[in-house]
Every structure is written in structure tokens, then in C-alpha cells.
Amino acid sequence: MNKDTDIQLSGPFKATDGSGRAHDAKAIRIFDEGYGAIDVYVDFSATISGLHKDKSLIDAVVAQLRTVGYKGPALTAGDSVLQESKLLVLEAPDEFNTFAAGKGWKDLAEEFDDE
């Protein structure tokens, strides 16, 4: 995690996958700025390889985001090339942008909306 460019949305929590195994998540974070689409990064203490499309695991992350104020639609699995052994990357829907902005995220695309 890069403290200079990350916004931490949540601290540690437990997330259960579809087979009932509990995983220790260390944090949910986003980068502090971007161009409209937001990737959400979930850091885990141990490997979660192969679980980036596990609906139960993703639902557990969304449930945790709801405890910190997110009210929009569910997130979806991010591109498989972005996944790492201890990192789950999720794609956020457009409605997530408002929530993220309230946490300090800046949409760089807004600078080009003046046309």
C-alpha cells in the first residue's frame, strides 16, 4: 500500500468465500485520483489465488463497504490480469464515484467536462 496515493476505506475484517473458508482482509483501498472508473483493492493476509470471481467473497467485501457508508450497487470482479495472490481487485460501478469523492477521491476526467 502506498500511503501517498491510497485512500483507505476500511481496516481489517473477515471475508468468507463460497466454500465457507474465512479470509483475513487487511484493508480496502482506492487510489486518490483517477479517470472515472475506480478499481477497489482488497489486501489479504494470506493467499486468495483463484478466488477473484468468488461471489461470496465479493459480497463480503461489499457488505464491509456498506458498514462504512457505501449505498450503491455491488462491485464486480476486476480484470484477471490485475489479481495477485494476496490482492483482490474489484471494479466499482459509476455510483461508487460519489461515495469515493466523499472519502477524498478526485475524478480527473471532470477537468475535461467543460466542453
What is the mean pLDDT of the segment spanning 4-19? 95
Residue pair 106/33 in contact by the 8 Å Cβ criterion: yes
Binning pLDDT at 50, 70 and 90, where does residue 113 land?
low
Binning pLDDT at 50, 70 and 90, where does residue 108 land?
confident
Higher pLDDT, 115 or 63: 63
Residues 6+ apart with CB under 8 A from 79: 89, 91
For cell 475506480, the residue is: 38
- Cα 42 to the center of its chain, rounded Å: 6
Binning pLDDT at 50, 70 and 90, where does residue 4 land?
confident
Percent of the chain with pLDDT over 90: 80
User: Among residues 20, 112, 7, 19, which one has the least CA distance to residue 68?
Assistant: 7
pLDDT, one tens digit per residue, over 60-91 is: 999 999 999 999 999 999 999 999 999 999 99
Torsion-angle region of 54 (φ positive above 0: left; ψ -120 to 50: alpha; else: beta): beta
pLDDT, one tens digit per residue, over 17-62 is: 999 999 999 999 999 877 768 999 999 999 998 999 999 999 999 9
For cell 471532470, the residue is: 110
